[in-house]
Amino acid sequence: MTSGSAFLSELGGGTTWLSFVALLGIATGVFLFFRGFRMLQYKRLILDTPFSKIRSASMGLVEISGTPNGPQTIASAITGQPCYYYRARAWQFSDSGKGGNWAQVIDESLFVPFFLEDSTGRVRIDPQGATLDVHRSFFDEMQTSSFGIGSPVPEAIRNFVAQRGLLAGDKIRLEEQIIKPGFPLFVYGTLGENSGLSSWAAQPHQSSAQFSLGSSSPGSVSLKFSYKGSGSEMAPRMIGAMLTRLPGTKSVSVHVNTPPGGGPAVISDQMMESLHRMGIQLPSAVVSESMNARSSPVENTKSSAISVATSVAAEINVLPPPATGDRPTSPASNTPATSDFDLHSPVAIGKGAHGNPFTISSQSQREVVQSLAWKSTLYIWGSPIFTLVCIYFLLVYWSWM
């Protein structure tokens, strides 16, 4: 132990940053351990659910495959391709003098409902709340100096970079994922009553992911997390307790995603208490569950989120569907004026009222199960080892061993 302590002493001030990373690693390891068991449970749930053709699917949990189609599409943010869903992410490179690092600055998504078709029929899909693993339509790293006059970069990409204010840095990375018309999908979700009978408006997508972590450069210690829905609060509470032990600058930036129906963003009392303990002053648009219950007898949608990721309001561009003729839309309602589809379908596949798993994937059912199998094994067996290594480091650093 003496040699380990001597080594850490030689690192000097750098150990403050290393201790923060170790603390973050402990919380992440605990979170991934429990996430591994959830993945294992999800894998078994998929294997126990019989595969269905659309026409013979019964109410409740279903798994189906087919091709997406629909009365309208939206333009993807980066490439401008017609799609039913896109997720656009951007990273900027900052030169910190020690090799530099990439920081995510954009993470936006948008979707419209669509139909999934097979040889027996079609069913409406409402992707809100789904975990999406879909086609990556674009990924590239480029110099912002190449965006000048006469640039070979496509116009749609140039517009995205300029409108999101990404020209300030030297280098950027762009990634886009989309649900493209005609590309096969596997869907596991809940077939039930369609709660959005007349809604065909494009809206921001909120996934079922509940927690994510990140960190800034060693110049200052900062916390980065997002919290969505209810779910386990163990990891963020651990992070808050850990930050109080660290010396130096600690900063947390907060962005609030307003619920689609309007009103305040509602988080649990425990999360509000944890954030206050960390010294974070939340904006007035965020209220706790108890405060919300006192102020309004009607329960607000608990799809709010707190996130430090930069969020840019997506521009909604409704396009006519490809290869299906012209179907004009009504600007007032975002509902197609004419369509070969049942715009008031009484049933749809979605998240479900009980929070059951909901997955939309461009992989097959077999590939989804295999992915869940190896990830759950890695998380269950690997995260305890990783956590123990981080704990050992802290015990040595704090001279407790």
Q: Where are the domains of the chain?
A: 1-48+374-401, 65-202+316-362, 209-309
Tokens 């030169």 correspond to what residue?
95
Asked whether the predicted pLDDT for residue 303 surpasses 60, the reply is no
What is the pLDDT, as a whole number, of residue 158?
86
E strands of 80-159, at which residues? 82-83, 85-94, 101-111, 114-118, 121-125, 131-133, 135-143
Q: Is the pLDDT assigned to residue 327 strictly greater than 50?
A: no
Residue 239's nearest CA partner among 228, 248, 230, 226 is 226
pTM of the shown model: 0.68
CA distances to 17, 249, 396 from 12, rounded to whole Å, are 10, 17, 14
According to the model, what pLDDT value does residue 5 have?
42
pLDDT in tens, 221-246: 444 444 444 444 555 555 555 555 55
Q: Which amino acid is at 286?
A: V
Instruction: For residue 104, give the 3-state DSSP assignment.
Output: strand
- Report yes or no: 224 and 213 within 8 Å, Cβ to Cβ: yes
Q: How confident is the model at residue 46 (pLDDT cuts 50, 70, 90)?
A: very high
Average pLDDT score, the chain:
73
Q: Which of 64-68, 190-194, 234-238 has the lowest mean pLDDT?
A: 234-238
Percent of the chain residues topping a pLDDT of 70: 60
Share of the chain above pLDDT 90, in %: 35
Which pLDDT does position 199 carry in this prediction?
72
Q: Which residue has the higher pLDDT, 283 or 347?
A: 347
Give 345's pLDDT tier (boundaries 50, 70, 90). Answer: confident
